[in-house]
């Protein structure tokens, strides 16, 4: 990871993946991204939008019901 000061707001820090770590992150996330592309590819744009909207609604509902952190 690389951390640097935001040139537009000194209170903020920008965190990014260092080039040396990028292959490991891509190997970790790549299979999931590929699976999503394959699953969504045959759908129409409207069907894709419905899937995305439904997943977002699920996340909102699940977040409301999450037990408090201990």
Quick one: pLDDT at residue 70?
67
* Integer CA distances (angstroms), 25 to 20, 40, 47, in order: 10, 22, 29
Quick one: pLDDT at residue 66?
63
Cα torsion 51, 53, 54, 56: sign: positive
pLDDT tens digits, the chain, 70 residues: what are they? 899 999 999 899 999 999 999 999 999 999 999 999 999 999 999 999 999 999 999 999 998 876 666 6
Strands (E), the chain: 2-6, 9-16
Query: In terms of pTM, does the model score above 0.85?
Result: no
Quick one: pLDDT at residue 65?
74
């Amino acid at each position: 990871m690389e951390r640097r000061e935001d040139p537009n707001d000194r209170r903020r820090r920008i965190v990014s993946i260092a080039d040396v770590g990028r292959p490991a992150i891509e190997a970790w996330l790549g299979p999931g991204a590929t699976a999503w592309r394959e699953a969504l590819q045959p759908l129409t744009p409207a069907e894709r939008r419905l899937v995305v909207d439904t997943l977002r609604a699920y996340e909102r509902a699940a977040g409301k019901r999450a037990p408090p952190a201990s």
